[in-house]
Amino acid sequence: MIATERLIAGAAQVLSDAGVASPRVDAELLLAHVLGVDPGEVRRRAILGTPVPDDARSPFDALVSRRAAREPLQHLTGVAHFRHLELAVGPGVFVPRPETEQVAQEAIDEACRLVREPAPGVGDPPGSRPPVVVDLCTGSGAVALSVATEVPGSRVHAVELDARAHEWAARNIAGCAAGLVRLVRGDARTALRELDGAVDVVVSNPPYVPSDAVPRDPEVAAHDPAVALYGLGADGLEVPRGIVAAAARLLRPGGLFVMEHAEVQAAEARAMVDRTGAFAPAVTREDLTGRPRMVVARRTTRDESTPGS
């Protein structure tokens, strides 16, 4: 048998040579997955010099080889961590990123505010009108599930068009928050007509990468589904423009819109929201790394016109 520390160090070197950004952490997580223990236990065994069982070597080495070939860590373990959630992921669904956690936070903060302070004019006491939240292009369901589990009583609707991603979302909803999220398979730009003008928060992490801007990381370029990456149009914003129009349709007056975008798209994201005439002036918010990664705007009074792009 080989000591845990020696096995991890060797694997980390292999991953480092392959260009993996976090070789030691990935090696620990892969070994934890193989052994069926948490990463803290793996680190404890490494410090104590505990040997690794012989029957764990082969599956661990196989996973390290796949990771060195730049297969996403989350595909190898079958798990992605997002806020407090542990989500099932794999081929066919976009792996949720830590930077999107702040997008979810904006939606959660607004829903929490509504629980404490219902919208003016409703005439109900605090907490008597559950906030209605819609997550467009839900993918794995990460944002929708974060809202549903962190804002008790909220009514969350999630929309996903792609069949494989929809299956992953359904699996996560069943495992994390059965009955707390209504999942709809449909086009995010036209879905949920029955909620027009009645939604408190619309949040979205739509595809927004331009078609000629192939991601540098092999984990993204070769493994994240193209339908979740590329937003269509020369600027990658054709789908986001549809999401903006859908938000204007769905939101009640005073409702909040939050949408992720690439940092280079901040100015155009604000402009596309402002051009609808349906929102107060849009603002850009930063993600956890301080980069401008989301547009936020509040719905103004409703009218009979269809918002443009």
| Annotated binding residues for S-adenosyl-L-methionine | 160, 205
What residues form the annotated binding site for substrate? 205-208
- Are 183 and 160 within 8 A, CB to CB? yes
Long-range CB pairs of 216-220, under 8 A, 24+ apart, other chains included: 217/70, 218/70, 219/70, 219/71, 219/72, 219/73
Residue listed under structure tokens 């066919």: 92
Rounded Cα distance, 234 and 211, in Å: 7
Which tokens is 260 given?
């992720």
Picking from 102, 166, 116, the residue whose alpha carbon sits closest to that of residue 137 is: 166
Helix ranges (H only) for 20-139 are 23-35, 39-48, 54-68, 73-77, 101-116
Rounded Cα distance, 258 and 128, in Å: 24
What residues form the annotated binding site? 160, 205-208
